[in-house]
Structure 1
Amino acid sequence: MTLQLKEGEYFGKNTLAQEDDAFKFSLQRYEPGFSISEHYHENDYISILTRGTYLEKTKTEQSGIEAGNIIFRPKEYNHSNAFTENGGTCFNIEFKKDWAKTLDFKFRLPAGFKNYKTGLFAPFYTLVHQFVNHQVVPENNTELIYEWLFQINQDIPIAGRQPWIAKVKTILEEELAVFHSLSSLSERIFVHPVYLSGTFKKKTGMTVSEYQLEMKLKNAMHLLLNTQSSITEIGFGNGFFDDAHFIHAFKNKYGVSPYQFRQALKS
């Protein structure tokens, strides 16, 4: 008998979970030698093996899954799994039933099972890293998934010139006191958020989130060196919701805290 797993249901032990309007995110841990009988999920989902190896079987074939592989399984895809003696951990991104309605844009998911080899889609590894380290920002989740959707739908036409890119850059460079979401930007420039995300990355080499953070940290550096404003004032003025958020972002970029940076360059 083939088991049906409803939205959000997975075998193994759940260690972390989160969701938004379109997606469910979860981290599942499997004991050594854990076997899963034939089953299917009612929704499409992506599964990234972060640790271990397992064998995946269908009625017609079987394949070995290694750490780092990105697996796409369409809804109602029958399969079974058997983990090796080391067990494993999987990060799952499940597409909710009406996920496409939240985009108001026609994107195709792969028609069948896909096994993308390690390193092929960088956005997912960024998402995994943020998720397991409790650094997830919901808007960033969406943008990273948009980036993947854009990559696998390369027949979406991109015009030679996109004057709206300059407008987005101006907003991100000048309106530093808030973090701008893809949705709010798309409403201001009248471009769909998925198209905005994919085209901005393709034309500038950076995601909207990366560019936005770059501008905030650049301005913060200027203020650290040229004003007497406190660390808290500088962080808040650049849209960071608290000192810890600002210090983490600054240190991640420059290797030192804002205070250490200011002291080192002013000494």
Structure 2
Amino acid sequence: MEETPPAEQPAAAAPAAPKSEWKDLGSFLLKLALIVVVVRSFLFSPFNIPSESMLPRLLIGDYLFITKFNYGYSRHSLPFSLPLLPNMHWSDPARGDVVVFKAPPFDRNDWIKRVIGLPGDTVQMVDGQLVLNGKPVPKERIADFVVPASPNFPAGTPADPVPDHGCKVEFVKTGANGQAECHIPRFRETLPGGKSYEVLDEGEQDSDNTVVFTVPPGHVFLMGDNRDNSADSRFPQTSDENRSGIRFVPMENLEGKAVVTFWSTDGSASWLLPWTWFTAARWSRIGEGF
């Protein structure tokens, strides 16, 4: 009697390659970084206020979003101003827009100012009065700008009458709660076309009288709202980055337009004390538009 040969056994399946969690994590982080770069370069980007040059609208410690697509794109739209994009300019800003830009002549630091003059405009300051295309811009005295002294905006003292990024001693008063407050003369300017905004004027300064500036093609004339504490287009460019003005700013240096404040802090918070993240917040400033 013949023996029946044993049935052939199916070949064992090859073991599945071990799944690399580190590889998946790396792929996810790379995709996330790419999305962040694209969004920040072409759509929206955050910006924080480092100085008092745009008081009263912007305080040190304000965080805002800018839109990147209003005026066009250039290498300055990309992180570190990587030279990967041609200049693509399709729209001039409007007078009164608040813009973030790479500050000439060094093109390294991001600054924020208000657009005052467009190509072909003439701009001059006469006794603290802004004169645009030969006509004085209406300037109306309104109530003082009042802001509490804080770590982000310290009050001057007899020993330190003009603190860095703070309030000069002559404008310091004691508030109802016994805390130091800064009271600075405030005015409302209204540009041709109706754009209105507030400016600060601390009194007679050298910058209150200038020559007539004619804005060249492809450039803008920018000024800070805190007129006596702003290095802007009234001042020439120099070789000292810490003391340089910006004069006329090329359109390609414009990175975006300020649109809304999304956070604000007075500087008193500590990373090690989470509850101070909330007590330091200036809640009333969050959500303010431009």
**Larger helix fraction of residues:** 1
Normalising by structure 2, report the TM-score: 0.23
Q: Which has the higher contact order (CA 8 A, sep 6+)?
A: 2
**Larger strand fraction of residues:** 2
Who wins on radius of gyration, i.e. which is larger?
2
Normalising by structure 1, report the TM-score: 0.24
